[in-house]
């Protein structure tokens, strides 16, 4: 995942250098052209003065273009980082799910609690270590032939449960130690995590909240070592329902989740002040939404797979408005500019390229 991010950033940097090289070439050509024009006009100005003015003009334009591409580069970088965090969250969730499945398959197995332990005592009593046919051992309290009360069970792979038992099953408050260092501490019922519990993974990720049958289920909070955090609803081990996810750079999303992804209506706020309010599908802007920039620009319209697509309006801070069709993030088809002085300019675009533009009053 990190190598993919590095490749994306290298590609963006190469594009930036190519654009810069292109602008320098334009500068040299422009200087030569201005020199030839000055000789034809026999101007009183010296070539050096013309060169100086030309360079000043072109350098100022270059600075504007460079700032534009640098700003775009930063936005794309932040966007890629956001996607990486969301992907990381899904990977971490898969780890939790796989552990839950391993628990069901390897621990608290049927063979253990069906094995009969000869005892005539019907009162709770402490007994020394007992070994099951599976190789796991139990030391603690019993009632007759059933584990009941406080006890410790250790499996042959080193996994361990310390806590309360009832009628031969883990039930009540207890702690389970996984062989990879992960720890669950909380409430149990029917040999499963049920109720409130805290799950600490060996990589530093911590979940605290409600559980049902070994899955995160209900209200919960999950924190990562990079200080990103999710707080909200879970369903069968996945983020589902209303929730808020905060990233280390200050960005956050608040809204609806489904199947561990952003789905439905929600608000995403970036650390640089950008904001999107609208419909999402599988972590992407998809449907109607409003995208706002910190400098006052905004887009109101349709999105498809994170790109402007369909009908939309683009607003500038000075009051100018573009209204028309979009295709994969670019103006496409017929559209019109609503100017601040009341004029309306109609035009035709083809995948971002303006074919014609005509001005008229309405």
Region label for 207, one of left (φ > 0), alpha (ψ between -120 and 50) or beta (otherwise) = beta
The pLDDT assigned to 361 comes to 41
- The tens digit of pLDDT for each residue in 254-312 reads 999 999 999 999 999 999 999 999 999 999 999 999 999 999 999 999 999 999 999 99
CA-based nearest residue to 230, from 45, 36, 88: 88
Q: What is the pLDDT of residue 81?
A: 59
SS (HEC) of 85-108: HHHHHHHHHHHHHHHHHHHHHHCC
Question: DSSP label at 318?
Answer: T
Q: What's the whole-number mean pLDDT along residues 158-181? A: 96
Q: What is the Cα gyration radius of the chain?
A: 32
pLDDT of residue 116: 59
Confidence of residue 108 (pLDDT cuts 50, 70, 90): confident
pLDDT band at 3 (very low <50, low <70, confident <90, very high): low
**How does 187-220 read in b/e, with b if 16+ C-beta sit within 10 Å?**
bbbebbbbeebbbbbeeebebbbbbbebbbbebb
Tell whether pTM > 0.85.
no
pLDDT at 75 over 90: no
Q: What is the pLDDT of residue 102?
A: 42
Residue 58 has pLDDT above 90, yes or no: no
Percent of the chain with pLDDT over 90: 60
Name which of 45, 63, 65 is nearest 53 in CA terms.
45
Q: Report yes or no: 173 and 164 within 8 Å, Cβ to Cβ.
A: yes
In the predicted model, what is the mean pLDDT of residues 220-241? 97
The domain ranges of the chain are: 2-105
Mutual angle of helices 47-106 and 2-41, in 10-degree steps: 170
Of residues 231 and 7, more confidently modeled: 231
- Residue 148 near residue 123 (C-beta atoms within 8 A): no
């Amino acid at each position: 995942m990190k190598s993919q991010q590095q490749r994306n950033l290298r590609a963006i940097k190469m594009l930036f250098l190519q654009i810069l090289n292109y602008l320098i070439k334009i500068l040299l050509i422009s200087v030569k052209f201005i020199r030839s024009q000055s000789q034809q006009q026999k101007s009183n100005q010296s070539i050096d003065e013309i060169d100086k003015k030309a360079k000043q003009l072109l350098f100022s334009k270059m600075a504007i273009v460079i700032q534009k591409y640098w700003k775009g580069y930063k936005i794309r970088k932040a966007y890629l980082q956001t996607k990486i965090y969301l992907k990381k969250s899904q990977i971490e969730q898969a780890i939790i799910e796989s552990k839950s499945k391993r628990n069901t398959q390897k621990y608290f197995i049927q063979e253990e609690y069906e094995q009969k332990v000869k005892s005539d005592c019907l009162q709770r009593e402490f007994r020394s270590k007992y070994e099951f046919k599976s190789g796991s051992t139990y030391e603690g309290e019993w009632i007759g032939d059933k584990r009941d009360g406080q006890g410790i069970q250790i499996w042959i792979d080193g996994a361990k449960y310390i806590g309360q038992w009832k009628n031969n099953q883990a039930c009540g408050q207890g702690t389970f130690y996984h062989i990879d260092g992960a720890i669950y501490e909380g409430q149990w019922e029917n040999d499963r995590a049920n109720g409130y519990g805290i799950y600490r993974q060996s990589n530093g990720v911590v979940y605290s909240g409600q559980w049902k049958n070994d899955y995160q289920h209900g209200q919960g909070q999950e924190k990562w070592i990079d200080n990103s955090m999710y707080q909200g609803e879970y369903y069968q081990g996945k983020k589902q329902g209303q929730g808020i996810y905060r990233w280390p750079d200050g960005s956050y999303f608040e809204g609806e989740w489904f199947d561990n992804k952003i789905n439905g209506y929600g608000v995403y706020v970036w650390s640089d002040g950008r904001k999107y309010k609208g419909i999402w599908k599988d972590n992407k802007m998809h449907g109607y939404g409003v995208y706002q920039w910190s400098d006052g620009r905004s887009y109101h319209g349709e999105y498809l797979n994170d790109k402007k697509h369909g009908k939309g309006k683009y607003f500038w801070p000075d009051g100018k408005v573009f209204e028309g069709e979009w295709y994969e993030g670019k103006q496409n088809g017929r559209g019109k500019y609503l100017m601040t002085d009341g004029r309306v300019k109609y035009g035709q675009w083809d995948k971002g390229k303006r074919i014609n533009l005509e001005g008229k009053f309405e």
